[in-house]
Amino acid sequence: MIIIKTEDEIKIMAEAGKILANVLKEIERLVKPGIATIELDRAAEALILLRKAKPGFKGYDGFPYSLCVSVNENVVHGLPSEYILKEGDAVSLDLGVLYRGYYSDMAATVPVGKVSFEAKRLIQAAKKALKRGIKKAKAGNTVGDIGNTIQRYIESQGYGVIRDLCGHGIGKDLHEDPKIPNFGKRGEGDKLVEGMVICIEPMLSQGNWQLKKSEDGYGYSTKDGLLSAHFEHTIAITKKGPVVLTEL
Ligand code: MG
């Protein structure tokens, strides 16, 4: 069931989004060779609590941390660990907050120090795919319009679209209807209407789209071991078009 939000609810979600965007920006600044990914998690949790919000992922479906940290071929849901980031890694950070009863969800892939040209190109493509998807998040369009745009762009860049995981509605629950796949056909799927709040989150890989469970038991990584990237924003569908709630 798709839950439509009132303007007041969207205002609260925008506050949640702002808190989240600020925290993630600070965490991105900490990303450099030599830092353990568990330190990023601790910093994220402390910064969220400082802003009178709660970590959105901790305890959700048993997830034991506040931040998902997925390095290189790990796509999403990776556990923070003693792993020390090294020059040339690409680290995907996925973070959620719960504020005044509403969730906000966001992700970004960040280069660690100097990365290869190919890694840079992949990260850029993921970012652009998200931007293009957001433009389609308008009342009257469908979920398929978003997925189709993202898929066509990613594939035009020579990358694979991850299919087993997708975006979602968001509100009092972290994952609400509808599902927002990163592939699809124009005009198909649920219709987007004013008052919906959704997370669009393209995940792509240098190789094909098949995944396997990561060694940590929580995350997913590419089956072929090739590099992946992931970006996500929380977006409200309004009279004036898509409004990104997780942007500063
Ligand atoms: Mg999400």
* Fold that domain 7-244 belongs to in CATH: Creatine Amidinohydrolase (3.90.230)
Tell if the pTM clears 0.95, that is, is over it. yes
How many A from CA of 198 to the centre of ligand 1? Answer: 9
pLDDT in the model for residue 117? 98
How many A from CA of 108 to the centre of ligand 1? Answer: 11
Q: Which residues have their alpha-adjacent CB atom under 5 A from ion ligand 1?
A: 105, 199
pLDDT in the model for residue 215? 85
Q: What does the pLDDT look like over 210-231, one tens digit per residue? A: 999 988 888 999 999 999 999 9
Backbone angles phi, psi at 93, to 5 degrees: -110, 125
pLDDT in the model for residue 44? 98
Determine what percent of the chain is predicted with pLDDT higher than 90.
96
Q: Where are the domains of the chain?
A: 7-244
Q: What does the pLDDT look like over 92-109, one tens digit per residue? A: 999 999 999 999 999 999
Q: What does the pLDDT look like over 141-198, one tens digit per residue? A: 999 999 999 999 999 999 999 999 999 999 999 999 999 999 999 999 999 999 999 9
How many A from CA of 167 to the centre of ligand 1? Answer: 6
How many A from CA of 105 to the centre of ligand 1? Answer: 5
E strand intervals along the chain: 54-55, 67-71, 74-76, 90-99, 102-111, 160-161, 167-169, 176-180, 197-200, 203-205, 211-213, 220-222, 228-230, 233-238, 241-244
How many A from CA of 168 to the centre of ligand 1? Answer: 7
